[in-house]
Amino acid sequence: MVGLPARGKSYISKKLARYLYWLQFETRVFNAGQTRRRALAPQKGVYPSSDVSLSHPASFFDPDDMDAVKRRENIALQTLEDLLVWLNDESSSVGILDATNSTVQRRLAVLDKIRKTAHPCTELLFLESCCYDWSLLERNIRLKLSGPDYSQQNEESALNDFRKRIVLYEKNYVSMNESAEEEETPYLQLHDVGRRVIANRINGFLSAQATEYLLNFRLHQRQIWITRNGESIDDADGKIGRSSSLSLRGTKFAHALSVFIKQQQQIWEEVKTYNKSRVKAGENKEILTSQEDITRSNFQVWTSIMVQAVETSKFFPEDEYLIRKFRTLNDLHAGQMEGLTFSEILDSHEDQMNLRRQDPVHYRWPGTGGESYADVIHRLRPIIMELERLDDHVLLITHRAVARVLLAYFKELDWDRIADVEVPPGRVFCVEPVSAAELSDEIS
């Protein structure tokens, strides 16, 4: 990572790591700030006094203080060393160095260490975050005050100290596209977390995956709702995999779902209107937001092309909702087991059920079109891209396996937990992607 403080580097690192891990690339973020704070922590067994601070004052980041410069360089390179040691493990795929790396000298030192230490085939990509949106930057700065560097300070002194830190970093900051020495270095530069993107010398499969994902970043506040189709006739009979019309219970759920979503829309608009009035009145600086965050969002309803999902959407008026159908949202294909109950499968294909229990994520149903959860992950990649890109609210009416995979992405679940995600019938999950100042999406 590259960028001044409060530019959303940790947010971008976390989002990118989540996506690559969901794609089944072992990914980890290494944060230089955590390394710096660990260096201040009391030794094991020593009880810290109440006045011990686990942060450095702004003066520690003065580029004219050569002793502090050397210490910061050592911290950054130690964090990089930890990353490279981890990356040398055969199971590791992507390491992200979350640090400012704001000078050409620092970046060249990072590049030199990687070339000397890492495997010759290791891909390298610098990712720079620039922020020109004043309201976004101000929100980032204020939310930094609740972080570990300032948890023991009052708001005014913390804010003054952090602003001084930014000014000190700005003295020697050189952007990637301003450095003639780095013209051949692969980098991606994000302005306002995706409003504008500059790509330079992007090569390699994983770099391309990361670039494609980052091109779809949006900060617009919205809600993503995820639910299963209403009960179908096959569901009621315990049969898996086929298109099937809704039962009476399923039709009742479909109607209730449309009423519920309408109510949630109204609540959302009321909250946004209230927040907008508070911002105008200057009552709450922590909810400062850009103009697009306080305008009305449209609402889309996405379904699979399976009958039970399409019928679940039938009570949403097409003049109020954009209804879209995606084959990629279809249920996990059960191959030759389509239309059978699990009891029937156990009776006639006990060997397959045993294989499924041993590796539920990678087990693929036998027969034409049979899929595994891993197949569904890669099938849903364009859906994730579109969800990240979209400014509108969206309701996804899909199926249990697909809902599990989507929730695994938003909840950052380990691969081996995907098949165990609870998605009960009649439950609607809400995801609220957060701003660049925060670190994890909210799921209710």
| Dihedrals phi, psi of 242, to nearest 5 degrees | -100, 160
How far apart, in whole angstroms, are the C-alpha atoms of residue 373 and residue 418? 8
How far apart, in whole angstroms, are the C-alpha atoms of residue 366 and residue 345? 12
Residue tagged active-site, from 62, 98, 133, 161:
98
Buried b (16+ CB within 10 A) or exposed e, 203-241: eeebbebbbebbebbbbbbbbbbbbbbbbbbbbeeebbb
Q: 106 with 140: CB under 8 angstroms? A: no
How far apart, in whole angstroms, are the C-alpha atoms of residue 93 and residue 277? 47
Q: Cβ–Cβ contacts within 10 Å for residue 180, how many?
A: 6
DSSP count for the chain of H helices, then E strands: 15, 11
Residue tagged active-site, from 56, 333, 393, 399:
399
399 catalytically annotated: yes
Residue tagged active-site, from 56, 62, 130, 131:
131
How far apart, in whole angstroms, are the C-alpha atoms of residue 174 and residue 121? 28
Q: Give the pair of three-digit tokens for residue 56.
A: 């450095």
| Alpha helices in 248-341, H assignment, sequence order | 248-281, 307-312
98 catalytically annotated: yes
How far apart, in whole angstroms, are the C-alpha atoms of residue 50 and residue 38? 17
Catalytic residues: 98, 131, 399
